[in-house]
Structure 1
Amino acid sequence: MLEFTTIAAEHGALLRGYYETCNYGLCEYSAGTKLMWGERLHPAFAEAAGCLIIRNELEGEFLFDYPVPGPEGDEDAALSAIEDWCMEKGVPPVISVVPAVKAPRLLQRYPYVGVRNVRTWQDYLYKAEDLQNFTGRRYSGQRNHIKKFFAACPGAEFKPLTAEDMPLVNRFWEDYGQEFAKADDPRAATELELAKRTVGQLDKPWFFCGGMMSGKKLLSLALAERCGDTLIIHIEKALYSYVGVYPAMVQAFARHFAGDAVWLNREDDAADRGLRTSKLQYGPNHLAPKYHFAPQNELLCHVKTLPVLTTERLTLSELTEEDIPAYNALVLDGERNQWWGYDDVAGLGGPVEERSFYEVAKRDYCNCAAVNFAIRLEGKLIGEAVLYHFDYRGDAELGCRIAGEYGGHGYGTEAFTAAAEWGLYGVHLTRVVAKCFKENEASRKMLASCMRPAGEDETYYYFEKKV
């Protein structure tokens, strides 16, 4: 089970171990974004299968970044770890800010999934050479503004900034505050404070910072981070009163820091009209999509009401309130349930009451987490079949138990087969799986009679049934 740690400043080096060579090209896959926007995204990390796994929490919903593999990373195993964690917590495995190159893998992985790609959050990607040179008619405006800037500030030059330059940076923030036109916009004011805090980390070796100087005055600054073949520009600020300082800084910054980077990512525009206009004027090569994958299980898609299944001797149907006494007796039969594999009482999370187990079954069905069938002989509840652990990839697990006084008559096999067939052809699962303790020879024989072996470990025999 994944164990997450809230991201803090001291985790920057660990994050960079993965992001430094990451070619996803999106700003979210960077240490700067995680640290700068931590109070909004509440990011936490775990490491599994040689991959970095990031869990964000936004407005009460867990959103996972696509796993970032290290040299020996296994992305599929990392995705499975995310799914297992979500299954344990009872939440869907929502994978967000998925780069275009990874979207086909998730489309193949999840049979039923809602996909979004909101324009507002797409990143602006520019060819590094375009911003370094501003060649061609489309950049005539930038070239003219740069000429005006140097005409007004003939001695201006680009200066790389380090931690030793923080007094200069702090004076820039004071000057910038005098010209800040969005002081009444809470979102813009918050972004400015976060930018100041992030620039305060110039001692971190993965941040590149620099700005245009005129004499002893800093007129602009930008801060970036190299991730794979992309230089991600986290912050760009300039004194508005100096016409042309923005394009002058953009070009000088790209020339100084881009190196052999292929792309410059100037991040999204957050639906700000001014930002959108400005970013488009610099001629992006493309807007990088950020896909949002919200997988759904087959139960949600195909089962509106619980059917009645019939076999030669049995009926499988929904639990009712009249079943509560017999159902409680079944669940609380400790001797019979020693090989059931699930502690029903512990699963309650509270004291046992008359309706406790019935209410759990109802709740799980309403949440599309499980289906509990009452197994009936001549109308009387003699056991249950439970389809659960929907993994969002077409698999679900099936369990079955029969009351002690009805054991040994093949009722379990009969009910199990009916529930498995319904799972495959009624719920449209790809595979139904089951397991039994190695000590439970009766269950092993029952499962072997209606499913195929699928391996074993120290504790269980595993079985599967496919379409």
Structure 2
Amino acid sequence: MLFRPVRLEDKAEIERFTRVAGICNCDLAFANMYCWEETYRSAWCVEEGFLLIRFRIDGGRRIGYMQPLGEGDFTHLLPGLEADARAAGQPLRLAGLTPEGAAALRRAYPAFGIRRNRDSEDYVYRADDLRRLEGRRYQPKRNHINRFEAAYDYRYEELTPSLAPECLRLERQWRAAHEARAAELTAEQRAMQRAFDRFEELELRGGALFVDDRLAAFTYGSAIDDATFCIHAEKADIRYEGAYTMINRLFAQHLPPHYTLIDREEDLGLEGLRRSKLSYHPLFLQPKLSAERLTEEQSQLRALWRVCFPEDTQDDIEQFLLSRYDPARCLSARRDGRIAAMLHLVPFGRTVYIYAVATAPDRRRQGLAGGLLREALACARAEGFRFAALIPGSDDLRRWYAEYGFTGACPVCFRTHDGFDFGTGDPARDLAMVLALGDEPFDATELLLSDLPQES
């Protein structure tokens, strides 16, 4: 496999695969690959009739590979991709997998785990919904537009490279108000400059909104395929109330009618951006699953988990193992070279949540889980946690945990950055037993376990 950097002259060859893939993924838009190449070091090759794309995850040192695009099953290409990753001293990591691609990978290579990254999923809308904003659910958007139209003398025009200086000025003004994301936004500025430098060659299309001859907002994007248009950038001067809503609608109205879907890319886990994108009522979120080979320990934990918690889906188990599992906070007991019992310590502020306590059926009543629980509580006290909490799965377990000092049946609510649910799946059954690890008593009537940033 001979990967080479994405260059402008590669557009036709790459799009020969991406435009017929039928996947609403902004990462497959050639303009995105080209404009962000400096950050992600995107590279490509064609192997056995499949397009392979390699990139730097989050612009860092870790290497990832997009789901191979081509006719039929791609899984026979994985040994080659794994060898390429190994040559760089890294494990094979796959990204941008569709649910169908993830299922094929699982069938062919059970040692791989699959996880969802909600922050990277694309918001895909009906183009006509954004053009018309009809119905009660879009009333707030129409109100924004009505106020904008009443307040300002405005005009809309097609975005051309001649407007680049004004757009970049507005982008610098916008960026100055978002200093907390300085590194990310500097990379975005470089990508935007590259887009304007090759606007026509990249077949970009955009719109500009002026108020009293001053640029108030602009947007641009490119086609993913014949029916799907992807918005790559949208900036507005927030001094003009409703400017974002206005540029969004006007651009959708000026898109050719053969575009029936509009992909507005991901929210990056930013709460405000997520609220905004959801407020336009997407038709669907495009899954962009990732996969990597489980370690031997993770594989054994998965096997034990599936035996002891058959109600948990394989997706949920692997989601935990690939995004939440911490070897330093996983306690296990081995017998005959295999993991026979386990538990996980998950920190939530001052409280440590004890999760997925399990013992293999043929190793029960040997004191393994009790030994791990005592070790877990000693570790929690040493780390300075105030409380330990867990949700027993049965009345028998509730009595067993009571022997270690856990008490109560406190309603518990989980709020997690990735939406992972540590509960039973039924909020009415999420009743936690709590143990005070020091002198401070636990007297709350509800337990909130959150890893979301604290609002100031």
Contact 2:95–2:290, Cα closer than 8 Å, also in 1 = yes
2:182 corresponds to 1:182: no
Correspondence for 1:221: 218
Contact 1:49–1:75, Cα closer than 8 Å, also in 2 = no
Correspondence for 1:123: 122
Secondary structure in 2 aligned to 1:24? coil
Contact 2:55–2:65, Cα closer than 8 Å, also in 1 = yes
Secondary structure in 1 aligned to 2:102? helix
Map 1:320-399; keep pairs closer than 5 Å.
none
Residues 213, 21 of structure 1: alpha-carbon distance in 2 compared, 3 angstrom cutoff:
farther
Contact 1:54–1:67, Cα closer than 8 Å, also in 2 = yes
Correspondence for 1:211: 208
2:289 corresponds to 1:295: no
Correspondence for 1:250: 248
Contact 1:50–1:73, Cα closer than 8 Å, also in 2 = no
Correspondence for 2:28: 29
Distance in 2 separating the partners of 1:105 and 1:210: 41
Map 1:23-422; keep pairs closer than 5 Å.
23-58=22-57, 59-69=60-70, 75-79=74-78, 81-83=80-82, 85-86=84-85, 91-154=90-153, 156-163=154-161, 166=162, 168-178=163-173, 180-183=176-179, 185-187=181-183, 189-190=185-186, 191-214=188-211, 216-228=213-225, 229-257=227-255, 259-296=257-294, 301=299
Q: How many residues align?
A: 296
Distance in 2 separating the partners of 1:136 and 1:277: 19
Counterpart code for 1:248: M
Distance in 1 separating the partners of 2:177 and 2:150: 25
Secondary structure in 2 aligned to 1:233? strand
- Quick check: 189-198 or 53-62, which moved more? 189-198
Residues 278, 301 of structure 1: alpha-carbon distance in 2 compared, 3 angstrom cutoff:
closer
| Cα-to-partner distance string for 1:375-429 (whole Å, 9 max, x where unaligned) | xxxxxxxxxxxxxxxxxxxxxxxxxxxxxxxxxxxxxxxxxxxxxxxxxxxxxxx
**Shift in Å, 1:46:** 0.8
Contact 1:55–1:64, Cα closer than 8 Å, also in 2 = yes
Secondary structure in 2 aligned to 1:275? helix
| Cα-to-partner distance string for 1:342-382 (whole Å, 9 max, x where unaligned) | xxxxxxxxxxxxxxxxxxxxxxxxxxxxxxxxxxxxxxxxx
Residues 186, 255 of structure 1: alpha-carbon distance in 2 compared, 3 angstrom cutoff:
same
Counterpart code for 1:206: E
Counterpart code for 2:48: A
Correspondence for 1:409: none
Contact 1:7–1:43, Cα closer than 8 Å, also in 2 = yes
| Cα-to-partner distance string for 1:35-63 (whole Å, 9 max, x where unaligned) | 23223322111111222110113343321
Distance in 2 separating the partners of 1:91 and 1:12: 29
Map 1:433-452; keep pairs closer than 5 Å.
none
**Shift in Å, 1:223:** 1.2
**Shift in Å, 1:108:** 1.5
Distance in 2 separating the partners of 1:157 and 1:219: 10
Contact 1:49–1:77, Cα closer than 8 Å, also in 2 = no
Distance in 2 separating the partners of 1:20 and 1:119: 24
Contact 2:18–2:29, Cα closer than 8 Å, also in 1 = yes
Distance in 2 separating the partners of 1:300 and 1:145: 50
**Shift in Å, 1:177:** 3.2
Counterpart code for 1:185: R
Contact 2:73–2:104, Cα closer than 8 Å, also in 1 = no
TM-score by length of 2: 0.59
Counterpart code for 1:63: G
Return 5+ residue gaps in structure 1 as ranges.
303-467
Counterpart code for 1:243: E
Contact 1:26–1:99, Cα closer than 8 Å, also in 2 = no
Distance in 1 separating the partners of 2:54 and 2:120: 18
TM-score by length of 1: 0.57
Contact 2:63–2:85, Cα closer than 8 Å, also in 1 = no
Secondary structure in 1 aligned to 2:13? helix
Distance in 2 separating the partners of 1:272 and 1:87: 33
- Quick check: 105-114 or 34-43, which moved more? 34-43
Contact 1:22–1:29, Cα closer than 8 Å, also in 2 = no
Residues 287, 88 of structure 1: alpha-carbon distance in 2 compared, 3 angstrom cutoff:
same
Correspondence for 1:421: none
| Cα-to-partner distance string for 1:134-156 (whole Å, 9 max, x where unaligned) | 111111111111111122234x3
Contact 2:116–2:287, Cα closer than 8 Å, also in 1 = yes
**Shift in Å, 1:78:** 4.3
Contact 1:21–1:227, Cα closer than 8 Å, also in 2 = no
- Quick check: 123-132 or 93-102, which moved more? 93-102
Contact 1:120–1:271, Cα closer than 8 Å, also in 2 = yes
Distance in 1 separating the partners of 2:169 and 2:62: 38
Return 5+ residue gaps in structure 2 as ranges.
301-456
Secondary structure in 2 aligned to 1:23? coil
Structure ID, larger Rg: 1
Residues 194, 138 of structure 1: alpha-carbon distance in 2 compared, 3 angstrom cutoff:
same
Residues 162, 176 of structure 1: alpha-carbon distance in 2 compared, 3 angstrom cutoff:
closer
Secondary structure in 1 aligned to 2:239? coil
Contact 1:224–1:235, Cα closer than 8 Å, also in 2 = yes
- Quick check: 84-93 or 16-25, which moved more? 84-93
**Shift in Å, 1:133:** 1.0
Distance in 2 separating the partners of 1:178 and 1:94: 37
* Superposition CA RMSD, Å: 2.8
Contact 1:96–1:292, Cα closer than 8 Å, also in 2 = yes
Residues 259, 274 of structure 1: alpha-carbon distance in 2 compared, 3 angstrom cutoff:
same
